[in-house]
Amino acid sequence: MSKTLSYVHGASGQALIGQTIGQYFDEACARHAGQEALVVRHQNVRLTYAELRGKVDALACGLRRLGLAPGERVGLWSQNNHEWALAQFATAKAGLVLVNINPAYRRSELEYALNKVGCRALILSPAFKSSDYLAMLADLAPELAHCEPGLLRAHRLPSLEIVIRLGAERSPGMLNFSDLLAPPGRDELADLAELGEHLQFDDPINIQFTSGTTGNPKGATLSHHNILNNGFFVGEAIRLSEGDRVCIPVPLYHCFGMVMGNLGCITHGATMVYPSEAFEPLAVLQAVAEERCTASYGVPTMFIAQLDHPDFAGFDLSSLRTGIMAGSPCPIEVMKRVIDKMNMREVTIAYGMTETSPVSFQSGADDSIERRVSTVGRVQPHCEVKIVDNEGRIVPRGTPGELCTRGYSVMLGYWGDEAKTAEAIDKAGWMHTGDLAVIDDEGFCNIVGRIKDMVIRGGENIYPREIEEFLYRHPKVLDVQVVGVPDPKYGEELCAWIIVREGLRLTEDEVRAFCQGQIAHYKIPRYISFVESFPMTVTGKIQKFQIREKMKQTLGLLDSATA
């Protein structure tokens, strides 16, 4: 008797959406015109679907007025705000490729991102938390101080011509975002509508940077079809409908915010609620209670922070029904508390990756708590998944192997990198995730590990090689290895083992100072250890697992799953 193989496909009677984001957005705004579409509490912004359409059309026309043509790249470097949502939909309507830039990025990362994909325009917030975005950009492009707005010629950023800043103040060489919201003329709107007829749903519309094992981030390029459909089917899984109000405290630069959040809402006539510019547990609790949110999103650490807030008991969360927990494994006790204390009876777990738009597995609202915690659910509609061994052969059910996915959600490729794309997506169209997974007889999937040495810190994916390559630049560093070690708060924290060049001395403070302002704060190793050598195999391959075990013993750490 032949064994059932680890292959599943999401057969569905619900057709894929065959429209561009702009076409679908216009119809949704007409259908739900009087409904509240967007609530941004920290900016005191409330827009109905009709009002949102008006502002998006104005911005799309404003961007075209600057001479930006379909296919050109527009970077967006900002925390969560209403301008982010406007830019997301306006770039889609104008056929421009929105390039999401992580708000935690610093100079070297910003420079790399803008140049890698050739951004002609950049929309940026003046500052956020400890990041002075204007100062960082001025460091990279001092020519801004003396150029006409829209006519930048910067030596280090050769493709960047147009810089658009948020806020009321003026900055030399920059346009203001509000200038682009001037009411468009009838001819401009007609031109925008005509353009919309020519755009295709397979056109690239979004680039999201995802760190790679080779060090520098890769630009995962996604189409209208990729992200519009994924947003829709993720919303279907949590039974979103018109009148639902979704609290979105996750970052918009990430798929969780802009796809599962914004597009999930738009495709169901629901309301997007942004509680604050970055996650704050109190702001989320206030937003849910005062806006009567019916759904809330987050990674497990976010839900833990809300449940453990000293004022938690004072908030009426009875309006909540559902939501999504994703980004890292969810402890069963946390899931039980979210269901019992936050009334999220239908909360689901989702799994995916940026390269697959992002979700490929999601639990169902009716699945048992045990299923929702021990697995990432079943395959999403219209997606295929297989589990393969080292030789690429499908393994029997219940056998671990690499998770590969195929279907509408697989990215177009890595921007400007055919070789890396070919490594990730094989000739049959399968995206190789690098995750080790098991699929059981009922089709439920469990992620059991990572083939690569990726570290997940509080929902942020960090690839040690990127940090290693940056630290190699330090003149005193001979060699370095970075691993993840368990942490009760973030799941994992970074640890760097450094071999210092002979005759030189290096301190932890020097290493951290070298990182400050150059790489995102969450990529700076928490633990730094200076060593004489690394544990190696006979063939000279470094054994990272030994470094990890040694640090766990030295620091007295337990795995977060057992802590």
pLDDT for the residue numbered 452: 66
Relative orientation angle of helices 82-93 and 49-65, to the nearest 10 degrees: 60
What would the two tokens of residue 479 be? 């060699």
Q: How are beta strands 477-487 and 491-500 bridged, if at all?
A: antiparallel
What band does 436 get if pLDDT is binned at 50, 70 and 90?
confident
Give the pLDDT of residue 117: 98
Residue 558, pLDDT > 80, answer no
* Buried b or exposed e, range 11-46, using 16+ CB within 10 angstroms: eeeeebbebbbbbbbbebbeebeebbbbbbbbeebe
Residue 314 lies in a domain: yes
Q: What is the pLDDT of residue 447?
A: 85
Q: Does some domain include residue 491?
A: yes
Q: What is the pLDDT of residue 144?
A: 98
Residue range 353-357: average pLDDT?
Answer: 96
User: What letter would DSSP give residue 522?
Assistant: G
Q: What is the CATH number of the domain that holds 461?
A: 3.30.300.30
The CATH number linked to 146 is 3.40.50.12780
Give the range among 9-13, 332-336, 426-430, 539-543 with minimum mean pLDDT: 539-543
pLDDT at 214 > cutoff 60: no
One domain, residues 462 and 326: no
Kindly tell me if the per-residue pLDDT of 539 is higher than 50: no
Tally of domains in the chain: 2
Nearest to 56 by CA among 79, 78, 24, 80: 24
What average pLDDT does this structure show over 321-326? 95
Place of tokens 């209403």: 82
pLDDT on residue 463: 74
Q: Note whether 326 and 469 are same-domain residues.
A: no
How sure is the predictor about 561, in pLDDT bands with cuts at 50, 70 and 90?
very low
297: pLDDT strictly greater than 80: yes
Q: Which residues contact 312 (CB under 8 A, 6 or more apart)?
A: 285, 306, 341
Work out the burial of residue 513: count CB atoms within 10 Å of its CB; fewer than 13 is exposed, 13-18 middle, 19 or more buried. Answer: exposed
Given pLDDT bands bounded at 50, 70 and 90, which one contains residue 509? Answer: very high
And the tokens for 420? 């890396």
- Please report which confidence band the pLDDT of residue 215 belongs to, taking 50, 70 and 90 as the band edges: low
As a whole-number percent, the residues of the chain with pLDDT over 70 amount to 96
Q: Which residue has the higher pLDDT, 84 or 465?
A: 84
Q: Assess contact for 377 and 361: CB atoms under 8 A.
A: yes
Residues 226 and 104 in one domain: yes
* Vertex 24: Cα angle to 18 and 28 (nearest 5): 140
Q: What is the pLDDT of residue 541?
A: 58
Cα 86 from Cα 83, distance rounded (Å): 5
Pair (468, 328) in one structural domain: no
- Residue 541 or residue 419, greater confidence: 419
- How many Cα atoms within 13 Å fall on the side-chain side of residue 255? 34
pLDDT digits (tens, 9 = 90+) for 452-468: 677 888 988 787 878 98
Cα–chain center distance at 309? 26
Residue 450's pLDDT band, with cuts at 50, 70 and 90, is low
Q: Residue 179 — very low, low, confident or very high, per pLDDT cuts 50/70/90?
A: very high
Does the pLDDT at position 187 exceed 90? yes
The average confidence (pLDDT) of the chain is 93
Above 60 in pLDDT, residue 213? no
In a domain, 373, yes or no: no
Specify if 272 maps to a domain.
yes
Residues with Cβ < 8 Å from 114, sequence gap 6 or more?
75, 99, 101, 122, 157, 159, 160
DSSP state of 537: -
Query: What is the model's pLDDT at position 439?
Result: 97
Q: Answer whether 281's CB lies under 8 Å from 249's CB.
A: no
526 assigned to some structural domain: yes
Domain end: 315, 341, 367, which one? 341
Beta strand residue intervals within 304-381, DSSP E? 322-325, 348-352, 359-362, 378-379
**Would 209 be classed as within a structural domain?**
yes
The stretch 339-347 carries a mean pLDDT of: 96
Nearest to 499 by CA among 512, 514, 511: 511
Q: Residue type for 525, please?
A: P
Given 282, 313, 341, the domain boundary residue is 341
434: left (phi over 0), alpha (psi -120 to 50) or beta: left
Q: Which domain holds residue 488?
A: 455-555
pLDDT tens profile 11-50: 999 999 999 999 999 999 999 999 999 999 999 999 999 9
Instruction: Give tens-digit pLDDT for 373-427.
Output: 889 999 999 999 999 998 999 999 999 889 999 999 999 999 999 999 999 999 9
pLDDT at 462: 82
Average pLDDT value for residue range 352-378: 93
The four Cα atoms 135, 137, 143, 148 give a dihedral, to 10 degrees, of -100
Q: How confident is the model at residue 563 (pLDDT cuts 50, 70, 90)?
A: very low
Domain boundary residue among 317, 341, 365?
341
Residue 180 lies in a domain: yes
Is pLDDT at 99 greater than 60 in this prediction?
yes
